[in-house]
A and B are shown apart, each in its own frame.
Chain A
Amino acid sequence: MKQIKPYILALAVTLLAAACDKDFVEVNTNPYAVTSSDPALLFAGAQRTHLGNWGSEHTIVQQFVSPFNDGATIGVNFNADIDLNNNPKWDQSYPGSVRNLVQALTILGNTTDRVNLKSMIRIWKVQTFMGLVDTYGDVPYFDAGKAVTNGVFFPAYDDDALIYDDLYNELKEAIAALNPGGDYVGSDLFYGANSNASTKTTTATEQVAKWKKLGNSLLLRLGMRYSKLNPAKAQTIVAEAFAGGVMTSNADNAYVKYDGSTYVHAENNGLRNFSQFNYAAEPFVDQLKATNDPRARYMIATYFNAGQIANDLNPNTTLGDQYGVPIGVTSGQITSDLINYRGSNPNGGLAYSQINIYAVGSPAAPDFYVTYAQTSLLLAEAAKRGWIPGGDATAQTHYENAIEADILVYSLYPTTTSISATAIDNYIAEPEVAYNPTDALELINTQYWIVNFRNGTEAFANFKRTGLPALSPNLFNNNLGGGFVRRLTYPDREGSANNANFEAASAAIGGDNLTSRVFWDN
């Protein structure tokens, strides 16, 4: 016995050595992880993309102001280049929508039986990148979102004009590929089986029709972006889009609505906290007051205590009582210079209007990505410019249709009541609203500015494109050389994480600053 023991042990050792990695592959597989996904669900998850921040894009176009300049909140309202204001769109787009859309396309590969899903993904990817280019200029495009599929960890930045060329091609191809006899994508948040009643479809034929309109409306938007750079090109694309069939009613709107509990409108939710920092801007409030805008009461309000607006269940929405914070003024000046400014609200905060947190600013507000109202205003401008037929008469029709359509969508906000047809007519008849050929472009783009009170990306891009409405630059300091912010700067993180590409892109766009211009904004 004594002699055998060592041999048994030696044998055991040998066996153990042979089995040293037995079952390791199985051990290292997580039995509880989700290791595959239907690309249609990835697409749905990517449909809710970023639309701009109150504190940055809306501030640039002077709809919103944060007048405190005590460090943390200093931002674009004082012409400062603050990472915190620049990043949200980038940070929410790339690791969010872009990654999931690219992954969905990778999974779909060359599949032919889900051509409609694939086309929708391509169209939505165009929307996402158009916003990124419009906001930042050159951005990673061809290599973006390919960490896993292609091992690209440090994507190069692509020339913004070249990206636009590809976006154009993608749109054209994707729209053409949509097939009424093909697959129905039930998970589509805009028009699918669980979308809102006003836009819902039940068959592929209906859904494809909506997506064709959405695609062409995006094409129209893309074409219009060339209006300064290359009017001829703009005209060609706009005509193509118009001929292809753009959105014709609110039932075509690409939007989602938050339920305010499981999904909260994050951008709006922030308005309640630290409310003493958040105010409506004077130019915007003045516009609403001058035109007796029936939408105003759902947009802005004054509260008993501007620092604790969430406690005021019945804010004052009387238009005459609304005052916007002047541009380029600090809270310090407002509270100490009572000759020029309205000073403090004695109960807290400043004596100025804020966003109506029960309607437009509600946590349960909808998000509008592409709407009939936007589209119709672009058509109005195209008609006015003669890029589509009909001249002023058609322009006026599109203009008025857009106003009506936009006013009507306010019924989708919480705590609103429908605005009557009479009120709409009265508004359209307001002297500063009524269409007239001389001021047509200003009128149309002023409405575009109001319509996009909830879509900062679009409001900012269109303001850069048209320079309308004619706002005055923020002269708080000379950081912008007396002009406006023309783009948001790249996230600081890119400067360290993707340095070589970041440096190359910065050089290519003439410096990574707030005043460099996107290619179409020359």
Chain B
Amino acid sequence: MFGYEALLDQQQIRGKVTDENGSDFPGVNVVIKGTTNGTVTSTDGTYILDVASGATTLVFSFVGYATQEVAINGQTSINISLAPDVRALDEIVVTALGVQKESKKLGYSATLVKTDELVSQRTTNVMESLVGKVAGLNITPPAAGAGGSIQVRLRGQAAFAGANNAPLFVINGLPINQDARGANGAGQVAQRDRGDNLQNLNPDDIESMTVLKGATAAALYGSRAANGAIIITTKSGSKNQGIGVDYTSSYTASQALNFMGEIIQTEYGAGRFGVRPATQGIAQDNSHFAWGERLDGVPSVNFDGVLRPYSANPNRLFDFLRTGTNFTNTIGLSGGGANGSFRASFSNSDAKGIVPNNEYKKKILNVGINHDITPKLKLMMNINYAVEANINPPAIGTQGDGPVNFFTRVAISTPLEAFRESAINPATGAEYKTSGFLGTVNNPYYPIQKGQFFNDDRKRLLGTATLRYDLTDWLYVQGRYNYDYGTNFMEWNELNGKGATTLFEGTTGFYRGRYDIEQSESTEINADFLIGGNKEFGKFSVDAAFGGNTWRTEWHRNAQFSRLFVVPDLYSIKNGTNWGTNDANFQPYLYSRSRTNSLYGWAELGYNGIFYLNVTGRQDWFSVLNPKENFEFYPSVSGSFIFSELLPDQEWLSYGKLRTSWAEVGSANGVNPYDGQLTYAINPQFNGQTTSGVSGTLAPNPFLRPFSVIEKEIGLELRLFNNKVLFDISAFDKVTTNQILDVNISNTSGYNSSKENIASLKNSGLETLIEVTPLKKGNFTWTTSWNNAFLATKVLDVGNASGTFLVFRFNDTGNEFLGELRYTEGMAMNQLYVRSYRRNANGEIVVNDAGRLLPTTGATPGAEKTNGFLPIGSSIPKHTGGWNNTFTYKNLSLGVFIDYKFGGMVMSATHLNMTRQGHSKLSLEGRREGETGLVFPAVYESSGQPNTTVVTDLQSFYTDYRGHQIGDPFIFKSDFVKLRNISVSYNLTSLVQSVPAMKFVKGLTLTAACRNVAILYKDLPGLDPEAIQSSGDYRAGYENASLPTTRNLNFSLNVRF
């Protein structure tokens, strides 16, 4: 009877839901308002719903999209389009441990990344596309070749160099370190940047990314939370969508940006003392100097004995480099039924770097599965398997090998073809000696022509399986197992005859060079459980959970090398006659394991949707600590106050939230397995006799502790004028104490350094975000957002009496001659130091009686404790930010992104080397047309009278900059403003679908983007200030032989079936 009546009053409504691109939108909830009756759209976005006659309104909703209500008004067909709602009030944020929370409950700053920009502003390393996008997230992409790593720092550098200062990355609940490899540079030995773990992610697979900026947000990660966390979830399809295929093809071409013309001189050629080389031998000895004669085009002898015009070749480096390319294809298959969904994708990436021979290839297989085994038991699985090959990553950032070092340091009068044609000396088979700096200034054509290689093959499996069981409607239990397995094979050679004049090793009769292989394997297991529940009691709500985790790591490495080869140019272990036995520091087998066990819990109390208070606690037990005190406790407390709930009638205020938090987290990074133990090395036999020695340069310290970070944060979030304006501001104060520092100890103690918990520092800052939609008219929308972070850093304690800690003296690398990196109490982090011009009591620069420069010394005020070195500022920019604009007109979307960094300093060894070798414009002072020498503007130290001495030996004069390490002319601001990205996307879906035969195409988008379009402002001439930095912290602010940044043109096609 009732059924009959109901049937009588029912009508059927049909319709179709599309997304913002006009594509079919499966899985959208369609519900009759005020009831629980509803349905879900099918794979083609259509729905059919029986509606009782009393119903007035349909509600269309989908996570991440603005919910729409449509009045029925007797319609039987309702088609609508849903738009993404990134500013949704009930924005769901994936927080620590993968727990999803409404953003209003958060007492800390968490930023959702716009994943569509990861795709439209595509970069080889996915994190690079976030440059300038999130306030407080400072990303620096070093120009490290196609497979390079990037520097990621959240809210400053939490700890001194040597610690892992990148945020924790949590991929589907699996915590991993960024692990930038070989990125700190190590002086003259060419260090190669071998990428990082972020390379294992395909931007097309990423469903969501949340940046948990502060300690509170990450507090549940305890001893891994010191740098905040970035939570990444990969796609696993959605329910009831049917089967779909998506395919993305992307092609990028990269070209080096050339600023060299700003600094390179084109007036003088090879030689010394104003004379060009008269013989081949002299050309070989002196061609690294451009202290010769004025360029006149007269054929002159080169290092290979060939006469070539004595004229300028300023673009050799850029002629040597090539256009880089990256061709990436991803195919994804996804589907979903009533009980679950899946997505599987495969991507292949093939990149060629701008340095010839540098290639980077990767393949990524990603699978995500959600399955409801029963209505209460859910299984979630994610697998990401990445295979990478990084081939010949370029040697960068240090003096030594590499094309940049070479072409900025050999005189401009030798043309590129000379180096190409005469890389190999036909008489010896070894590198043709091109200059007196053979060994540190090596012809880059020699390794190419003789087959130098460096292969880094890596395979990595990240697997996560989660089982969640709902015990009751408010209590659940969850278990998760994470497996992270990586294997790495590397092989490389040192060429015989490279940087040398002979192929033979000493008098042995065997060939020089070396061949190395290294195989390593790492396993990390994280297994955790969580029991949690949430319940409402009237106006109060409670959300609490308790859980535990065990984290087990094991790593081992096997390595071998061989040298003293029998057959030339054959690099294999068996061709050598000596296998790694001449090097006491060489350890063929290394092993380490560690375990960290944890218990944690949280409780969140809410009142009426207005107040939320959240308390968390975690205790970690560490295998690496002294057994007597092997644990640490990490608490946090945070609260949010949604004051707009109390002001419901304010038209202008859509939403207002005040948040504040406090947390103590830490990092055991720096306390390594076995650090406290004395070990010995057995040396190779010396004439048949085994010998041994105490191992290592680091004095064992069994009492090391994790360091600690205490962070306070307060923030305000406002949505105004019906969500048209979003304003978010956070202020934080983060103090790191008990930092682990490799304290330099007197090596007369037997060791060079000892790890101690002694240092502290402070990062504080202000982050702002403003998002506005200034224009929305018809089909045209302009949204603009500006984020800015101000960061102030201060070193509080360096743990020694002098108050200053030497991180890196670049001169100590043996062949570099500029400056130091120090941490000095009371000053900003990463303080750069150089010697300066010596000055008298009146502040005037002084010279000696010969008119030559004098450096500051230990007697100089302010430089007493630093041997004459004076601070010039911090390498860390104070202001970072970006201005993002999106213009959409119908199916066309244009993105324009500008970002900037201000307030940091850089010192340039390239400038110094070029000046002292006569290659820079600065070195022309005193020998320009009509000049016969230099009178340096200064006064005599002896008399105080103005300097009148004409220095004619300019080579010696400019060499004094290096000899004395006077840095003044080589210091610049690292400031820049870049037009980082312009992208144009055109959604052709509706166009294609208008063709009946093409109906099966559910989406088609074409994107063209240009990255690093232009540098709108910079202070550092000749170079891109951003390209200087390695992704580590040791060489911060120090430029040497930087590879140029590239301008990348990208075209991509995305199609869905």
Contacts and interface: CB of A to CB of B under 8 A. Distances in A.
Interface of A: 2, 5-6, 9, 12-13, 16-17, 19-21, 23-25, 27-38, 41-42, 44-48, 69-72, 74, 83-84, 90-91, 94-96, 98-100, 102-103, 139-140, 143-148, 152-155, 187, 189, 192-196, 256-257, 259-264, 269, 272-274, 276, 305, 307-308, 310-311, 332, 335-336, 344-349, 357-358, 362-364, 414-415, 491-501
B595 A153 contact: no
Most buried by B among A263, A307, A308: A308
10 contacts: A24-B595, A33-B674, A47-B691, A72-B815, A74-B963, A99-B751, A100-B694, A262-B685, A496-B867, A498-B745
Interface string B793-818: 00000001110001000010011010
Given A308-B502, A496-B802, A264 B747 contact: no
A459 B752 CA distance: 29
Contact of B750 (A21, A69, A148): A148
A147 B679 contact: no
A262 B684 contact: yes
Interface in B559-604: 564, 577-578, 581-582, 589-595, 597, 599
Contact of A362 (B506, B592, B673): B506
Contacts of B505: 261
Interface stretch (B402-410, B449-457, B623-631, B1034-1042): B623-631
A21 B748 contact: no
B510 interface: yes
Contacts of A98: 748, 750
A83 B686 CA distance: 30
9 A-B pairs closest in CB distance: A99-B750, A498-B746, A45-B691, A308-B501, A348-B281, A194-B689, A363-B506, A497-B744, A147-B749
B1015 interface: no
Nearest to A349: B285
Contacts of B933: none
Contact of A344 (B282, B599, B688, B963): B282
Contacts of B746: 140, 153-155, 494, 497-498, 501
B531 interface: yes
Contacts of A346: 279, 281-282
B783 interface: no
Nearest to A93: B748
Contact of B627 (A24, A35, A102): A24
A232 to B, nearest CB: 33
B589 A153 contact: no
B754 A95 contact: no
A16 B547 CA distance: 10
Most buried by B among A28, A145, A189, A498: A28
B687 interface: yes
A348 B801 CA distance: 51
Contact of B692 (A2, A38, A143, A357): A38
A260 B578 CA distance: 11
A399 to B, nearest CB: 33
Contacts of A263: 582, 684, 686-687
Most buried by A among B680, B694, B750, B866: B750
B531 A148 contact: no
Contact of B582 (A74, A153, A262): A262
Given A71-B962, A263-B582, A332-B953, 18 more contacts: A13-B531, A33-B674, A37-B682, A94-B747, A95-B697, A140-B746, A147-B745, A155-B746, A187-B689, A195-B687, A195-B689, A273-B499, A273-B500, A308-B501, A349-B285, A493-B744, A493-B747, A499-B801
A173 to B, nearest CB: 23
Contact of A70 (B673, B745, B811, B955): B955
A20 B632 CA distance: 12
A5 B678 CA distance: 48
Nearest to A274: B439
Nearest to A39: B692
A100 B529 CA distance: 49
A145 B750 contact: yes
A358 B748 contact: no
B699 interface: yes
A30 B673 contact: yes
A194 B687 contact: yes
A71 B475 CA distance: 73
B959 A71 contact: yes
Report whether over half of chain B's contact residues are helix, strand or loop; otherwise say mixed: mixed
B681 interface: yes
B471 interface: yes
Nearest to A27: B623
A21 B686 contact: no
Nearest to B598: A20
B621 interface: yes
A350 to B, nearest CB: 9
B546 interface: yes
Nearest to B282: A344
A269 B811 CA distance: 23
Contacts of A31: 591
Most buried by B among A95, A264, A305, A357: A95
Contact of A21 (B280, B621, B679): B621
A134 B690 CA distance: 31
A272 B497 CA distance: 13
A187 B686 CA distance: 10
Interface in B420-469: 427-428, 430, 433, 436, 438-439
Contact of B694 (A99, A308, A349): A99
A32 B591 contact: yes
B916 interface: yes
A46 B593 CA distance: 32
A310 B500 contact: yes
B201 to A, nearest CB: 31
A34 B630 CA distance: 25
B281 A70 contact: no
B272 interface: yes
B692 A37 contact: yes
Contacts of A495: 867
A94 B750 contact: yes
B677 A33 contact: yes
Nearest to B584: A45
A259 B577 CA distance: 13
Given A153-B754, A364-B506, A28 B748 contact: no
Interface in B383-414: none
Contacts of A5: 471, 477
B54 interface: no
A492 B748 CA distance: 13
A28 B674 contact: yes
B471 A496 contact: no
Nearest to B916: A71
B693 interface: yes
B162 interface: no
B691 A187 contact: yes
Nearest to B553: A27
B686 A256 contact: yes
Contact of A140 (B748, B953, B955): B748
A499 B802 contact: yes
B700 interface: yes
Contact of B436 (A12, A19, A28, A276): A276
A155 B748 contact: yes
B285 A307 contact: yes
A344 B281 contact: yes
Contacts of B693: 42, 45-46, 96, 99-100
Contacts of A94: 747-750
A144 B749 contact: yes
B284 interface: yes
B748 A144 contact: yes
Contacts of A2: 471
Contacts of A500: 801
B749 A154 contact: yes
B963 to A, nearest CB: 5
A21 B630 contact: yes
A506 B953 CA distance: 36
